[in-house]
Amino acid sequence: MKKILIVGAGGQIGSELVPHLRSIYGNNNVVAADISAEKCKVLAEAGPFEELNALDGEKYTAIVKKYGIDTIFNLVALLSATGEKNPVLAWNINIGALTNSLNIAKDNDCAVFTPSSIGAFGKDTPKDKTPQDTLQRSNTTIYGVCKVTGELLSDYYFNRFGVDTRSVRFPGLISYVTLPGGGTTDYAVEIYYDAIRRGAFTCNVKAGTYMGQAYKENKLNVDVAVVHSEYIEKTEFATFENVCYLTENGAADFDLLLIRGISTGALHILCGIFIGFGLAYIFRQRAIAITGMVGLLGACGVFHAIFNLLISADGIWRWMGYLFPSGMIIVLVSGWHLMVKLNHMK
CA 287 from chain center: how many Å?
51
Q: Which domain holds residue 243?
A: 4-247
Active-site residue among 25, 60, 67, 143?
A: 143
The reported pLDDT for the residue numbered 68 is 95
Most confident range (mean pLDDT) of 122-136, 152-166, 252-266 is 152-166
Q: Indicate if 209 and 106 belong to the same structural domain.
A: yes
Q: Is 27 exposed, middle or buried (0-12, 13-18, 19+ CB in 10 A)?
A: middle
Q: How far apart are CA 341 and CA 346, in angstroms?
A: 9
Burial 67-98 (b: 16+ CB within 10 A, else e): bebbbbbbbbbbbbbbbeeeeeebbebbbebb
Per the CB < 8 A criterion, the answer to whether 321 and 313 are in contact is yes
**Alpha helices (H) in the chain, listed in sequence order:** 14-25, 41-46, 57-67, 80-83, 87-108, 142-161, 187-197, 216-228, 240-247, 254-282, 289-312, 316-345
Final residue belonging to a domain, choices 215, 247, 279: 247
Task: Report long-range pairs for 45-54 (Cβ below 8 Å, ≥24 apart).
Answer: 46/19, 46/22, 47/18, 47/22, 49/9, 52/7, 54/7, 54/8, 54/93, 54/96, 54/97, 54/100, 54/101
Task: Report long-range pairs for 42-51 (Cβ below 8 Å, ≥24 apart).
Answer: 43/9, 43/10, 43/14, 43/15, 43/18, 43/19, 46/19, 46/22, 47/18, 47/22, 49/9
Number of domains in the chain: 2
Pairwise pLDDT comparison (37 vs 187), residue with the higher score: 37
Q: Indicate if 146 and 282 belong to the same structural domain.
A: no
Residue 183 has pLDDT above 90, yes or no: no
- Pick from 95-99, 110-114, 288-292: least confident: 288-292
Pairwise pLDDT comparison (288 vs 331), residue with the higher score: 331
- Pick from 150-159, 196-205, 248-257, 337-346: least confident: 248-257
Q: 200: number of CA atoms within 13 Å, CB side?
A: 1
Q: Indicate if 34 and 101 belong to the same structural domain.
A: yes
Pairwise pLDDT comparison (64 vs 135), residue with the higher score: 64
The reported pLDDT for the residue numbered 118 is 75
**Catalytic-residue membership of 187:** no
Final residue belonging to a domain, choices 209, 232, 247: 247
Residue 236 has pLDDT above 60, yes or no: no
Q: Indicate if 22 and 112 belong to the same structural domain.
A: yes
Q: How far apart are CA 186 and CA 158, in angstroms?
A: 33
Q: Indicate if 37 and 184 belong to the same structural domain.
A: yes
Q: Indicate if 322 and 178 belong to the same structural domain.
A: no
Q: Indicate if 175 and 313 belong to the same structural domain.
A: no
pLDDT for 17-69, tens place per residue? 888 888 888 889 999 999 988 888 888 998 999 999 999 999 999 999 999 99
Task: Give Rg (Cα) of the chain.
Answer: 27
Q: How far apart are CA 30 and CA 72, in angstroms?
A: 10
- Pick from 43-57, 243-257, 266-280: least confident: 243-257
The reported pLDDT for the residue numbered 242 is 45
Amino acid making up residue 183: G
Q: How far apart are CA 253 and CA 260, in angstroms?
A: 11
Region 96-112 average pLDDT: 95
Final residue belonging to a domain, choices 247, 264, 293: 247
Region 300-305 average pLDDT: 77
Pairwise pLDDT comparison (107 vs 126), residue with the higher score: 107
Confidence class for position 173, pLDDT limits 50, 70, 90: low
Confidence class for position 241, pLDDT limits 50, 70, 90: very low
Q: Indicate if 200 and 262 belong to the same structural domain.
A: no
Q: Indicate if 126 and 143 belong to the same structural domain.
A: yes
Q: How far apart are CA 288 and CA 78, in angstroms?
A: 68
